[in-house]
Structure 1
Amino acid sequence: MKRVQNPQICHGHSRPIVELAYSPVTPDGYFLTSASKDGLPMLRNGANGDWIGTFQGHKGAVWSCRLNSTAMLAATASADFSAKVWDAITGDELHHLEHGHIVRTVQFAQQTSKLVTGGYFQQRLRIYDLQKMDSEPATVRDVPDKIRCAAWHQNDALLLTSYTDQPGIGVWDIRTAGLVKTLATGKEVTSIEISQDGRYITSADGTEVRFWDGERLEPIKVFSQPYSVESASFCPEKGRFVAGGGDMWAHLHDYETGAELECNRGHHGPVHTIRFAPGGDSYASGSEDGTIRIWETDYALKTENGEAPAAPAVNGS
């Protein structure tokens, strides 16, 4: 008999969680950040979800929170018309980046010292050099719509963007500030993820989970779901992808066939964000209910093989 998985439940946020992001593996392990409408982005141990600290200083909802490749710096994007850069060890604010309207997304480049921000109503990408913060940021101004997501790609030469009211993923060359191409989707893209090796791009739009060739920027496959998909994440090492959305469940799928392997229930609101941990042994989901739940990827396989399920851990701030 298949056992129901009891995830690790991470409390601490008082309002919906809108973005989760894992750091790469560092000498100190890996970490998980969460952005929430409560305005208090948090840092956690990525392996067990234990709370480490809260970045305090924003005066509005925080839409995005990211760590750099060494997990030494954090960046946040907020509805208070600002982005901030933090010391992820001490929690101190290092830079306050004023914007003219809501900042929706922020992300560190992986191989350079750059940081990108983008947001609502100001249809531009701002690219900051963290080693030259006294200088004005470079900008990409011809973005056709309000920006929802941004992701660095191909050795930080390209930026992938999605929009609030327009389908597709824009591919921008930051060297020329020009649009290279648009990856066509049926609906507005609510989630973009690039695999660590850059070989795969995973996106969610409407009821579709799409996979793209990261080098050729061409579609590989698409799987339709019977619910609205807000976020999706792919683990090439496991050959699995996860998706979450309006039905409040965390779905685990086989990448080759799209078959659903597990449907994990427990959230009490839509799943706005879902991401695999490095290596793919677990994945985290964040919901309208204000909780983060960390699920084991191979839980069903382990229990079918006779291993007793571990007692669930409840983590608080």
Structure 2
Amino acid sequence: MRPYLLKGHERPLTQVKYNKEGDLLVSCAKNLQPCLWWADNGMRIGTFEGHNGAVWSCDFNIDSSRLFTASADQTVRMWDLPSGKELFQFKQQEPCRAVSLSIGEGMLAFTTDAFMGTQPMIHLAKLEQDVEEQQAKTILSIECPKGRITRVFWSDLNRTLMTSHDGGWVRKWDSETGKLLQETQVNQDAIQDMQISQDGSHAITASLDKTAKLIDTETFETLKTYNTGRLVQSAAISPLYDHILLGGGQDASSVTTTSAKAGGFEARFFHKVYAEEFGNVRGHFGPINTVAFNPDGRSFCTGGEDGYVRLHHLDMDYHTTKWF
């Protein structure tokens, strides 16, 4: 399985994301320009220029005509995907971290970090069909407890919002009133990434407590725990098989003191039900910060501290081997 190496960033990756069809891939990094790639051969289509800070996360609309990005430059921006033109920006007073588009694309949820005495917050904005009529004003702002909000998702047909936080907390909020409905400390340390399954019934958290947890999105009950022995920066659920993909490795600040093998910088495959590791894919020099499965489950990509995106198309052996 030979990967495509996509070099579009000088700085560490923060998120890689496929569109709904799985033919496009966007990579966000701590440099200023998110990159758009073809997902089959890794050819770069272009970059989105305009941000003045690290871009932390992104989201596509369903027909891949729009891209939304959240950045440390205190803006969430809306882009025209085919042309790369900036259409609109939601300006905030704090660095923006996570972004998520609602079902039906009528609303946008994004989060801001604690900054200069303010609390971390979730903001909801109404999206207009016509960009000319778009308002920057948010319709609801929810103040959250202390600790960075790392991911936000819509759930229960837009009735609730699900967030992951520093400290290992997962919380559910009413999207109409902003009321906190449920909270559970799933992990013992910061949750770096959270991804939802395709049917929305369960989610996976990746944490600095060296575990990934599979949780029920309704009850927040922990269904499975994947122990890795190393910091977990990102986790993804296969849409095709009962497989989990984990990325991480030793902390970036102490990478230079160890060999690549000792650092644990490989993408690791676990069985979703048996919670046993059955394979890994090496290649990155430094920790893996973000992983994603293609929506068809036949390829995946990883983004590392080394600035590379590695795009892997899974061999036929992967599909034909009975792993357990």
The answer to whether TM tops 0.5 is yes
Match of 2:237 in 1: 234
Pick from 8, 11, 19 the counterpart of residue 12 of structure 1. Answer: 8
* Contact kept? 1:140, 1:178, Cα under 8 Å: no
For residues 41-82 of structure 1, the C-alpha deviation after alignment (integer angstroms, 9 at most, x for no partner) is 011122332211211001111111221122111011111111
1:18-33 alignment to 2 at 5 Å?
A: 18-25=14-21, 30-33=23-26
1:159-178 alignment to 2 at 5 Å?
A: 159-164=161-166, 166-178=167-179
Match of 1:188 in 2: 190
Find the aligned partners of 2:194 and 2:158 in 1 and give their Cα distance: 15
Structure 1 residue ranges without an equivalent (≥5): 306-317
1:135 shift after superposition? 6.0
Q: CA RMSD in A?
A: 2.0
Mean CA deviation greater in 16-25 or 179-188: 179-188
Asked if 1:218 is matched to 2:232, the reply is no
User: Aligned letter for 1:289?
Assistant: D
Find the aligned partners of 1:248 and 1:43 in 2 and give their Cα distance: 25
Pick from 279, 282, 291 the counterpart of residue 262 of structure 1. Answer: 279
For residues 134-182 of structure 1, the C-alpha deviation after alignment (integer angstroms, 9 at most, x for no partner) is 2621233331123222112221222111224x32111111112111111
Find the aligned partners of 2:41 and 2:172 in 1 and give their Cα distance: 35
* Contact kept? 1:33, 1:67, Cα under 8 Å: no
Task: Number of aligned residue pairs: give it.
Answer: 297
Match of 1:308 in 2: none
Structure 2 residue ranges without an equivalent (≥5): 250-263
Q: Percent sequence identity over matched residues?
A: 30
Find the aligned partners of 1:242 and 1:288 in 2 and give their Cα distance: 17
Match of 1:126 in 2: 123
1:252 shift after superposition? 1.3
Change in 2 beyond 3 A, CA 1:50/1:157: farther
Find the aligned partners of 2:42 and 2:74 in 1 and give their Cα distance: 29
* Contact kept? 1:16, 1:289, Cα under 8 Å: yes
1:114 shift after superposition? 1.0
1:34-183 alignment to 2 at 5 Å?
A: 34-121=27-114, 122-131=119-128, 133-134=134-135, 136-145=137-146, 146-164=148-166, 166-183=167-184
Mean CA deviation greater in 114-123 or 11-20: 114-123
* Contact kept? 1:84, 1:97, Cα under 8 Å: yes
* Contact kept? 2:226, 2:276, Cα under 8 Å: no
Pick from 270, 289, 305 the counterpart of residue 272 of structure 1. Answer: 289
Find the aligned partners of 1:135 and 1:42 in 2 and give their Cα distance: 25
Find the aligned partners of 2:268 and 2:289 in 1 and give their Cα distance: 13
Bigger fraction of residues in helix? 2
**How does the TM-score come out when normalised to structure 2?**
0.86
1:295 shift after superposition? 2.0
**How does the TM-score come out when normalised to structure 1?**
0.88
* Contact kept? 1:21, 1:275, Cα under 8 Å: yes
* Contact kept? 1:17, 1:272, Cα under 8 Å: yes
1:266 shift after superposition? 0.6
Change in 2 beyond 3 A, CA 1:225/1:40: same
